[in-house]
Amino acid sequence: MKFSLLVLGSPHACQAGDTALAFARAAIEGGHEVYRVFFYHEGAYQGDALGVVPQDETNRVESWASLAEANDIDLVLCIASALKRGQLDTTEAERHERPAGSIHPAFQLSGLGQLIDAGAGSDRLLTFGN
C-alpha cells in the first residue's frame, strides 16, 4: 500500500510529527511505501534546520531527513505556512532579502498542489495533528 502523510502539528507543542514518523517507519518495515509527507500549518516547523536540539532529545529534522533519503520520500513544507513562520529555503531567503535560509535541505517548499497530488497518488492520506 502507498501512503502519504499530512503533518499539522508543531514539533514543540504536540506529538503529531513523532507519531507520523513512527507510522512511516512501521509502514516501510511492513513492506509499504511512503510517497510524500506534507507539512502544513504549524507542521512547517518540522523542517527547521536552525533549531538546537537538547542532548537528551531526538533530532526530529535529522530523523525525517534520514528516513526520506533512505526511502526516497518527498518531504514538502507548505510554502505559505512555512514563509509566515520564518521557514525559508535559500531561494526564498534571497527573494525576500533575508540573510539565510532556515529549512533543512531534505525538505522542499511547495504549494497545496503537492498535497492534492499526494492524495491522488496514494492509496491512503493520513493526517497527524489538528
* Contacts within 8 Å (CB) and 24+ apart, 47-51: 47/75, 47/77, 47/82, 47/87, 47/103, 47/104, 47/106, 47/107, 48/11, 48/87, 48/102, 48/103, 48/104, 49/101, 49/102, 49/103, 49/104, 49/105, 50/102
Q: Phi and psi dihedrals of 97, rounded to 5?
A: 55, 50
Q: Does 78 participate in catalysis according to the annotation?
A: yes
Q: How far is 68 from 65, CA to CA, in rounded Å? A: 5
Among 78, 79, 103, 106, the active-site one is: 78
Which sequence positions are flagged as catalytic?
Answer: 78
